[in-house]
Amino acid sequence: MVQVTVDQVFEAGVVGAGGAGFPTYVKLSGRADTVLINAAECEPLLHKDKEILRHFDDDVLAGLRIAMELVGASRGVIGIKGKYADVIEQLRPKLSPDMEIVPLPDAYPSGDEFILVYEALGRVIPPGGIPLHVGAVVINVETARNVAMASRQPVVEKFLTIAGAVQEPVTVRVPIGVTLAECVELAGGPTVSNPQYMVGGVMMGYLEQNHHALVDKTTGGVIVLPEDHVVIRRRQQDWKQISRIGRAACDQCSFCTELCPRWLLGHPIEPHRAMRSLGFNLVGEANVQGTVFCCECNLCSLYSCPEDLDPKNVCVQNKRRILAEKRRWENPPFLPERAERLLKNRRAPTKRLMKKLGLTLFPNVGYLVERTVTPKMVGIKLKQHVGVPCEPVVRVGDKVVRGQVVGMPPETDGKRALGAPVHASIDGVVTRIQDGVVWIERQAS
């Protein structure tokens, strides 16, 4: 078995590759009875986790084994949608007796850590908690592969799916620091004029206007959409519109609450009450205070609300204000039995979600292809993770090689700030360090 230490996981710059960017060495420094691989990949049209499992199953299983050893877990679980029967069949013969696969329903948001832990392990994480509170460490498929590689190669490449309005939806492996536009070209380019990029998915991702934005360790995919697509139009609404329409049109039907995955787990979040707050200054009231437990899955806004209102954004606004005011809710009410009673009958089927979002127009595939970007230049962001930005450890004019550290989290009094080092993804010369990015230009050999 490959031996990897927590220090090596740090030095390799491994962070949550599913989008969260939490430094993995911190997770693997804890103690847990179970390590759960998050292969749920519930964002419509994204396929990279399944493709990594299909092509690099030995690496992912090695990463799972290493994670289990590091946290002292006696059980390793892979949570993957049951519909991917071919991948499950491929994995099963390779599992050790202390590993298992739990097939998940094809619903959204099955990749949310709280939902995943419940669906795969039957444990409910309390409001404001983390998986460790119920004895679990959750890591994404790509993160597990990066853990397995940590003693040999730092994180210098990224898998991502390019889908939507493109010639050929694909999953590709590219050097960190290339542009989104370069990746979209690997899918044959957009099929629409004035294409819009949803980065990370249509539900929890963001609309990126700058098509030359840089791929980092957390970029999971780009969904290209026409500018008049409903998802894009919804994203372009500003807060004034959202609050004005919400105040006028919300009839308090409470569907947003009844289908909210966190409410279904028994957390005290009730988006319909947050909607009510639009007409009043209710921040700090218990029913608005619960918005701090919103995971921003967007289900309420893009699926549940019959009026197409935006309770998610109302929750986010309230949440930000509450967090800025440092209001804490000690001992919030928690009804975990609600999960057992209601969750299984109230899942949002992916098919229905995709239909509602007008995504069934696009092929729902993204096979991994070998083509990649060979960039003349890459931009390595100094912050690609939860925590403090790295400080550059190279200077303009320095020659660097692929895998060399170019930024390290700062240390104060010998104590390392939360973060992860970042590395050059190509051989070249540092030409600029500006606005939190180390630019490296490839040198002609």
The residue ranges that bind ligand SF4 (CB under 6 A) are 250-256, 260-262, 269, 271-272, 275, 294-300, 304-305, 307, 309, 311-312, 315
Partnered with residue 400 across adjacent β-strands are 428
Burial-class residue 101 by CB neighbours within 10 Å (0-12, 13-18, 19+): buried
d(CA 166, CA 168): 6
Q: Rounded distance, CA 377 to CA 424, Å?
A: 11
What is the nearest approach in angstroms of ligand SF4 to the Cβ of residue 423? 34
CA-based angle 358:259:223, to the nearest 5? 30
- Which residue, 21 or 290, is less far from ligand SF4 as judged by CB? 290
Residue 434 CB, nearest approach to ligand SF4 (Å): 35
CB 375 within 8 A of CB 426: yes
> Nearer Cβ to ligand SF4, position 233 or 376?
233
Contact indicator for 70, 6 with CB cutoff of 8 Å: yes
Residue closer to ligand SF4 by CB (options 152, 352) is: 352
Q: How far apart are CA 295 and CA 130, in angstroms?
A: 12
CA angle at 390 for the pair 384 and 395, rounded to the nearest 5°: 115
Helix axes 311-324, 239-249, angle to 10 degrees: 120
Q: In this structure, what token pair is assigned to residue 406?
A: 């170019």
C-beta separation of 303 from 356 below 8 A? yes
Peptide bond into 109 cis (omega under 30): yes
Q: Which of 414, 418, 424 is nearest to 392 (CA)?
A: 424
**Residue with smaller CB distance to ligand SF4, 141 or 260:** 260
Of 104 and 242, nearer to ligand SF4 (C-beta) is 242
Smallest gap from Cβ 80 to ligand SF4, in A, equals: 22
Q: Computed over its alpha carbons, how large is the radius of gyration of the chain?
A: 22
Q: State the nearest-atom distance from the C-beta of 118 to ligand SF4, in Å.
A: 14
Dist CA 228 CA 234 (whole Å): 10
| DSSP H stretches of helix in 12-152 | 24-27, 48-55, 57-71, 85-91, 113-121, 141-149
Pick 308 or 391: Cβ nearer ligand SF4? 308
Nearer to ligand SF4, 253 or 418 (CB): 253
Cα–chain center distance at 414: 31
Beta carbon of residue 313, minimum distance to ligand SF4 (angstroms, whole number): 9
CB of 258 to ligand SF4, least distance (A): 8
Residue 278, SS3 per DSSP: helix
Nearer to ligand SF4, 183 or 297 (CB): 297
By C-beta, is 291 or 425 nearer to ligand SF4? 291
CA–CA distance, 175 with 424 (Å, rounded to integer):
9
Residues forming beta bridges with residue 175, ordered by sequence position: 157
Minimum distance, C-beta of residue 239 to ligand SF4, in the bound complex (Å) = 15
**Between 168 and 296, CB nearer to ligand SF4:** 296
Q: What is the closest distance, in whole angstroms, from the C-beta atom of residue 299 to ligand SF4 in the complex?
A: 4
Q: How far is the CB of 136 from ligand SF4 (least distance, A)?
A: 20
Minimal distance, residue 298 CB to ligand SF4, in Å: 5
Q: Which CA distances in Å does 54 have to 138, 186, 221, 369?
A: 20, 20, 18, 12
